[in-house]
Amino acid sequence: MNILVVAAEVAPFAKVGGLADMTGALPRAWWADGHEVAIMLPLYGSIDRELYGIVRTEHVVSVPVGYWTEYAEVWHGKLPGTEVPIYFLRSAEYFDRKGIYGYHEGFEDNDRRYLFFSRAALETAKVLGFQPDVVHAHDYHAAPCMPMLATQYRHDPFFARTAGVFTIHNMAFQGMYDPVRAMEFGGFPPSEFYPSSWFEHHGSFNAMKAGIMFADKVTTVSPTYSQEIRWTSEGMGLQGALQHRASDLLGVLNGIDDTIWNPRVDEHIAVPYDATTLQKKRINKLALLRELNLPCEGASADLPVIGMVTRMTQQKGIPIMTRPVWEVLQQGRARLVILGSGVREYEDYFRRAQDQFPDLVRFVTGYNEPLSHRIQAGSDLYLMPSQFEPCGLTQMYAMAYGTVPIVRAVGGLADTVVHYERTSGTGSGVRFHDYDESAVAAALDYGLGLYNDEPHWSTLRTNAMQQDNSISVAARRYVEVFSWAQERLP
Ligand code: ADP
Ligand code: GLC
C-alpha cells in the first residue's frame, strides 16, 4: 500500500511529545512489512539538516493559498534505519524560526502555517509522483488535508482512489482559528462556513472538527479513549461530531518501536539488559544517580527511584501528585527523578521539592532525549497520574525497561497497564481510578510496598517486560483501517 503520512512532528527530527514517536515508529513498521511510505514534515528551523543528511531537491512546489500562490522548497531525508523518504517542506516565512508551535498560546500565524503545510503536502505528493492509497493525517495540524482531499483533490484523477484517514492523538488541541482567515487560507468556499457546518464549532474554524467530519475513517490512539471522547467531556466539546462519525471511529492502540525503546540495544543507557539479566538494571540505576549527583552509597542505593518524563501540563495530573509525593519524600521512602517542562507553577513545585530534599529529588528541565532513556532504565517505578491520557507511551517504555508504572486508569493507560494482584501474581503495574490525592497516595503505597516484597517485585517486573506492546501490531491494524477507508470511496 502507498501511505502518505502528514504530521507536524516526526521523531527524531522534530519532537514535542508522543505524536512524534508514533509518526516515526509507524512508517518504520510499515516499511518492514513492505509498504511504500512517504512522510511530509515542515522543515523547522530547529531541525539539524547536517546531522540527518537532509538535502534540498530540485523541486519548488506551488501552493495555492487563498487567491494567491505561495511556494514550498522540498528537502529530502530518510527515516533513520529505513529507506522511507521523508520530505521536509520549507517555507522561510512559516518554519524558519525557533520552536515548533511557539510557547503557551502558540504562534499567532499557526493557522496559516498548518493550512499551508497541509496543502503543500498534497501538492508535493503529486509533484513527486507519489500516488497515495491513503493520506494518513495526524492531529489538528494536518487535519485540513481531509477536507482538501475530500472536496478538492479527489476530483484530480491522481487522487481519485486516495482515502483519507485522520488520527486523533489529543482532543485537547483542536486548531481553532478565525474563520474568515482560515477559510480563505485553506482555499475553502466562505459559504461552507455557517453554524454547525463541518468547519464550524462555537463560531470558530475548527481544524480538528473538519478532520473528523471529512475523513473516510477516524482513529484515535486507544480503544478506551475512543469511547471517552464520544461519551464524556474528554471529547472537549466535539462529542457531537464524534458521535456523528461513530461508525467510522476506531481506537488503534499505540505501540512502541523496539529499535529505539529497548534496553537490550539502547545506546543511551549505561549497560544493556533484558528480562533474563534484570540484575543489570541496578547498574543503570546507580549510573543515573551518579549522573544526577544523588547519593548512591550503601543503603541509599536500595531506596526506590520514582521516575517521570513528561510535558508539565494539566493533562498529566501534576496537581494530584504533589502532596502524596511530598509525604513519601518526607518519610524518606523513595527518591524522585523528573525530566520535563511546562506550566511554571508545576515546575516551581519540583524546584521546591529539590531544595527541600536535595538528596532525594532531581528535577531536570528542558528537552533531553538521552536522559529520558536513562530515567526509564534507572528508575524502579514510573508515575503517570494523568487527568486524561489518549494513550501514553512513557508507561509502555517504562514496562519495556522493567520499571513498574503507577498510572491512573484512564484512556490508553487503562488499556496498557494491568493491575498487579498479589494473590495471582498477574499484572504489569499499579492502577488507581479516582482523580484525587488519596488515590495517588494509596497507589504509591502499594507500589512501594511491592518494591520491598520479593518475590512479587521480580514477578511484577518480569510481567511488565514480557507484555507485548510492539508497534507492529498497531501498524497492521492501521493497514486494515486504511483498506476499510478505501472501501468507502465511490
Ligand atoms: P504526550 O505525547 O502526551 O506528551 P506520551 O507518553 O505519549 O505523552 O509521549 C511523550 C514522549 O515525549 C515520550 O517519548 C517522552 O519520553 C517524551 N518527553 C516528554 N518530555 C520530555 C523531555 N523533557 N525530554 C525528553 N523527552 C521528553
Ligand atoms: C498525545 C497524547 C498521548 C499519546 C500521544 C501519541 O500527545 O497526549 O497520550 O500517547 O499523543 O499518540
Which CATH number characterizes residue 407's domain? Answer: 3.40.50.2000
Clarify whether residues 72 and 32 are in a common domain. yes
Instruction: Report the chain's mean pLDDT, rounded to a whole number.
Output: 97
pLDDT of 299 strictly over 90: no
* 202-251 per-position pLDDT tens digit: 999 999 999 999 999 999 999 999 999 999 999 999 999 999 999 999 99
Ligand at shortest distance from the CA of 260: 1
Interval between CA 309 and ligand 1 midpoint (Å): 6
Question: Given phi > 0 = left and psi -120 to 50 = alpha, else beta, which region is 198?
Answer: alpha
Cell numbers placing 431: 492502577
The finding on whether 169 has its CB within 6 A of some atom of ligand 2 is yes
Closest CA to 67 of 187, 193, 199: 187
Ligand at shortest distance from the CA of 170: 2
The finding on whether 390 has its CB within 6 A of some atom of ligand 2 is yes
* 443-470 per-position pLDDT tens digit: 999 999 999 999 999 999 999 999 999 9
Clarify whether residues 61 and 73 are in a common domain. yes
pLDDT of 104 strictly over 80: no
pLDDT band at 490 (very low <50, low <70, confident <90, very high): confident
Question: Is the backbone peptide bond immediately before 80 cis, with ω within 30 degrees of 0?
Answer: no
Q: What's the confidence (pLDDT) of residue 160? A: 97
Q: What's the confidence (pLDDT) of residue 298? A: 80
Clarify whether residues 286 and 419 are in a common domain. yes
| Ligand 2: nearest atom to the Cα of 172 | 8
* 134-163 per-position pLDDT tens digit: 999 999 999 999 999 999 999 999 999 999
pLDDT band at 300 (very low <50, low <70, confident <90, very high): confident
pLDDT of 297 strictly over 90: no
Which uninterrupted H or E stretch holds 273? none
Q: What's the confidence (pLDDT) of residue 103? A: 74
Clarify whether residues 120 and 224 are in a common domain. yes
pLDDT band at 72 (very low <50, low <70, confident <90, very high): very high
Section 182-200 average pLDDT = 97
Q: If you search the block for the grid coordinates 543507557, which residue do you land on?
A: 269
Clarify whether residues 301 and 159 are in a common domain. no
Clarify whether residues 317 and 206 are in a common domain. no
Structural domain that includes position 293: 275-468
| 264 domain-assigned | no
Nearest Cα residue to atom 12 of ligand 1 = 17
Clarify whether residues 190 and 328 are in a common domain. no
Q: What's the confidence (pLDDT) of residue 396? A: 98
Clarify whether residues 369 and 449 are in a common domain. yes
The finding on whether 311 has its CB within 6 A of some atom of ligand 1 is yes
| 174 domain-assigned | yes
Clarify whether residues 332 and 411 are in a common domain. yes
Clarify whether residues 70 and 136 are in a common domain. yes
Ligand at shortest distance from the CA of 411: 2
Section 107-123 average pLDDT = 97
What pTM was estimated for this model as a whole?
0.97
* 9-29 per-position pLDDT tens digit: 999 999 999 999 999 999 999
pLDDT of 188 strictly over 80: yes
pLDDT of 441 strictly over 80: yes
The finding on whether 59 has its CB within 6 A of some atom of ligand 1 is no
Residues written for the chain: 490
Interval between CA 391 and ligand 2 midpoint (Å): 5
Interval between CA 193 and ligand 1 midpoint (Å): 36
Helices (H), 331-436: 344-356, 369-378, 394-400, 411-416
Section 284-305 average pLDDT = 93
Number of structural domains (the chain) is: 2
Q: How far apart are CA 234 and CA 410, in angstroms?
A: 11
Closest CA to 114 of 68, 72, 82, 172: 72
Clarify whether residues 52 and 194 are in a common domain. yes
Clarify whether residues 433 and 293 are in a common domain. yes
Here the contacts of 420-426 (C-beta below 8 Å, separation 24 or greater) are 420/450, 420/456, 420/460, 420/463, 422/456, 425/456, 425/459, 425/463, 426/463
